[in-house]
Each structure stands twice: as C-alpha cells, then as structure tokens.
Chain A
Amino acid sequence: MRWLQIARKDFDDSRRERQLYYLFALFALVGLGIGYFIGDNGAMAEAQLLPFVLLNVFGFLAPIVALTISQGDIVGKRATGELSVLLSLPFSRHAIVVGSFVGRVAISTIVLVVTFVLATGVATAMGAPLDAALIAGTFLLVWAIGVIFTAIALGISALTRSTTIAAGGSFGVFLLFVFQLWSVIPTGIRYLLNGLSIPTGPQPEWTAVFNQLSPFAGLRNLSHPVFPELLGGFPLAPGSVGASPPWYQEPVFAGFVVLAWIVLPLAIGFWRFQTTDL
C-alpha cells in the first residue's frame, strides 16, 4: 500500500504549495458565478439549464486544469532530484505512477465537489429549479473528463525526461481534443492519400470511427442514452448521436474508448518510466 503514501503526499504537496487553494479559488468563483447567473434568471430557467452550463463550462476548464497540474508531476520531480530521493526509499516506480494518479484525481475530485455544491446551492437558493439526478450525472461526466486528462498528462509526465516536452505535449493534447484538431486528422490523411489534393466523394466510414474515438466523443456516446437532453448538444464532442447509433457509437464501444483513454496513457507512460534510467 505504499502507493497510498505517495497519493497522500501528492495531495499534501498540492496543499502545501498552495496550488490547491488557487484551484479552489478559480473553480469556486466560476461555480458561484454560474449559480448566480442561473438563479438570477430562475423564473425562466428550466431544470436542465444549470447542468448544461456546468457541463460545458467545466467540461472545457477541467481538461485544461488537469493537464496543467499533472503534466509536470513526475518529470518535474525527476528534474529536481525528488524522484531520485523517492526511489531511494522503498517505493517502486509503479507506486509512484499509481500514487501520483490517485493523488491528482483526489485533488480534482474535491475541487469539483465543492464547485458543484456551491453552484447548485446558490442557484437553488435563488429559486432556480433543481434536477438532482441530472446534476449528479453532470458531475460524474466532468469528473470523468478530469480523470481522463489527468491520466493523459501523467502518462506524458512519466514518458519523457524533459519538462519542456511534457509541457509541449500536454499543450498538444489540449489542441487535439479541446481545440478538436483530432477531427481534422482524417481529412488530412485523406488529403495525403489522395495525392495532396482535396478528396472528393462521401466520407469513408473510418473517418467517422476515428472521430468517435476522441475522449469527449467516447464520454458523450457512453452517457447519451442516460442523459439525452443534456448531451444533445455537446460541443466538445464531434458529431451527434442519432436515434439508432452505429456500432462505433454504441455505449459498450464508447465505454472501451473511455477506459482506453485512462488506461493506455498511464500504461505507456509507466512502461517507459519503468524501463529508463533516472
């Protein structure tokens, strides 16, 4: 259970370095603002409005924050010599990666819980209608987005020895998924395959499959059957889910996509971390 000691240390580090408080300040402020805005328009607001705004604002903020606070976690400790101290104590490299992941997830969990409680509390106190199940579902979605991007950022952090590459790489991830360069890739490939000219004809199926492999698409496709009203328009995920979704939008397939975005970055990062010299 030594990973638990690393996880606790990771969490405490965040507190001692005041990072946790800055995050609290940022998220709580935005959460209060959203709550106030919804509550102020309470009379006309539907119960779906608050979760919808929360999802789209924090669905955008959570990846940025997760990438920012996690990309330097392991590679930064390598640069300062902290890692060589930890690995002189009886911690396995495995415990370092798992512990850091759990610690970072704990930080985003506590920050998000407080934010959601504040936003919902203010909105309902000011008379906005409340759909508790929908709020809980929204929380889970935003939380899962945080978990995915924490896994990706930590994977990058374990993968490289250079803090510059880690920072650049996580910015690349931001561009790829939040900025959605991901859905431009199939067009680029078709352009190349077509001899550097604009492809014509209908989109082949693989481009649609590729688009639905993005983490946001995976989460949307997975949760759409449960919260269709919430995820009908989810701008972070490409495309939309129709009445009878194709196989690559089935919840089971989407579940594997989501799981892969958590497990694969950590596994690849760990594999590299495990096999390199300090």
Chain B
Amino acid sequence: MVAIDLSGVTKTYGDVTALQDVDLTVESGEVFGFLGPNGAGKSTTIDILLDHARPTAGQATVLGMDAQDETVTVRERTGVLPETFGPLGEMTGRQHVAFTVEAKDADDDPDSILERVGIAHAADRPASGYSKGMTQRLMLGMALVGKPELLILDEPTTGLDPNGARQMRQIVNEEADRGATVFFSSHILEQVEAVCDRVGILDHGNLVAVDSIDGLREAAGTTGEMTLTLDVVPDDLASDLEGLEGVTSVRVQEDTVTVGCENPAKGAVVRTCQDAGSSVENIETSEASLEDLFAAYTEGI
C-alpha cells in the first residue's frame, strides 16, 4: 500500500518556486527521510500533505486519500509534529495530550505518553513555560496519540539535545516496528542515516534523488577514500594513480597518499603503489559520509 503519493506537485509563492514538479511515493511501513538544505521545500511538501498549504499544480494523496479534500480524515489517521508549533493557550502538558486524545477519539493515557517523550516531570506545568526542546517533545507525544498509521515529523531533532535526539530515533524505530510509516524531514544527516530505509534529497524545490543510502552512494559515485602510508612516494605515482579507472582524486602529503575512489578500484590502487616500488605500510579506508553525498547532490559536485 502507498502511504504518501505526490504527483507533479508544484508550489509557487509569487515568482518564487518552492516545489517544482515533485513526484514521490512512500510505501506503507517505510521510514522515509526527507533531506535537503534549509529552504529546499521540505516544509512546503509537508504543508501540502496536511493541507496547511495548497499546491499550485499537481496532486497529493495521503493514505490513499486526497490531501486537500479529505484532510480531516487524513489527520485522524496521522500523527504530526509540525514545523511551527505553539502551545495551546495556557494548557498544561497533560491537558495538551488529553486534548489530543479527545480530538483523535483515542484511549491513550496522557501520563504514559509524557513518560515516553521524557517530560512526565512537567506534566502539570503550563506548556507556555516549557523550553523549546520540551515543547518539541510534547508535540512529538501528541503525534504519537492514537497509534497513527502515519507519522509526519518536520525536523524532529532540531532543538533537541543529543540525548533527546537519541530518544527521538528510538521512538521512530519503535513506531516503525509497530508498523507505522514514518516520514520525516531533516537537514541533520546522521539522524537520517541511523533510522531511514530510504531517503529523498530535495534541492531548490526539485527532488534530485530518491533511494536507499547505499544506493545513493553508488549512484553519486562518491564512494570513499583510501589513505595509504608508504615508505617512499615516487614522483610519478600520483599521475599513475589518477590514470586508474574509478579513481576520482589523489592527494599526496609527505608519505601518505589519499585516493578518492570506488570500491572495485581499491585493489588496483594498492598494486600500482607496489609496482612503483613503494612498500605499503598502512591502509585506511573510509566510506563516503552522507555529508559528501549530500554535497554531491545539492551542489552538483
């Protein structure tokens, strides 16, 4: 089943294009990370899914329902952590969750929800006095009410301390294990890498890539680096290495050679060094970080 489907979605504000002909399908049960720099259109996409904004062109469906015409039913079955949020009047934390339980016709115990997001100690205080991070935890708690089929979380880890970010990941994993689809946006790459089945990269309103992280690595060719420590570095070694297939960069610094290359080329790199008369004393390899991947897609490197 399809949880989220965008087809040809375009959104313009005056002459600014926030989203350009975006097609995206998120399968039910997936954890989907929506990546992109600030201002790429992530929140606009989420606004369209929740009918907080209307697309200029194209169509969005959520859980098989039209995001615009059936928005209330969509939101009955979806838990949302919106981009901008403010406390509901002067309600306490517990009253916030109880209000959500009533609105969603659910039967959750507000205290156990607050426990789960780590703000049970503040249950009786008005949420208007909460810190940003606590309010965010409260909003996440409200999103969990009623065991929704779909969770839409806009930048869920922004504003959380490292411990909070870890709890957030844990909750996302638990919800995914329960069978929920999770769609969340982020510009913090480690968060996405840690929990997502697939990611989409959005840049300037264009969806530039959708794949698993491994798939993206492969497709972008930013596979990794190998650092070799040699006893001597012959003068023409660098140019020999650059001539190898699959090698993208070579950097020489004293007795170390750093080679950016795809995995299959690594053997040839080592052989070339040995053939040049060097003995290899140490080899370190690293995979391309998601940072490199991100840069490759959004800056056209």
Contacts and interface: CB of A to CB of B under 8 A. Distances in A.
B234 interface: no
Contacts of A17: 89-90
Interface string B285-299: 000000000000000
Contacts of B47: 277-278
B224 interface: no
Contacts of A12: 89
B100 A16 contact: no
Contact of A81 (B84, B89, B100, B142): B84
B71 A92 contact: yes
A84 B47 CA distance: 10
B116 interface: no
Contact of A90 (B52, B76, B86): B76
B53 A89 contact: no
Interface residues of B, number: 32
B54 interface: yes
Contacts of A9: 88-89, 99
A91 interface: yes
Given A87-B52, A90-B104, A277-B52, A82 B75 contact: no
Contact of B72 (A77, A91, A277): A91
Contacts of B52: 84, 87, 277-278
Interface residues of A, number: 23
B273 interface: no
Contacts of B86: 77, 80-82, 84-85
B72 A92 contact: yes
A86 interface: yes
B90 A89 contact: no
Given A5-B102, A88-B75, A91-B103, A13 B54 contact: no
Interface in A248-272: none
Nearest to B103: A89
A77 B86 CA distance: 8
A69 to B, nearest CB: 13
B154 to A, nearest CB: 10
A16 B91 contact: yes
B139 interface: yes
Interface in B100-134: 100, 102-104, 126
Interface string A65-93: 00000000000010011101111111110
Interface of A: 2, 5, 9, 12-13, 16-17, 77, 80-82, 84-92, 275, 277-278
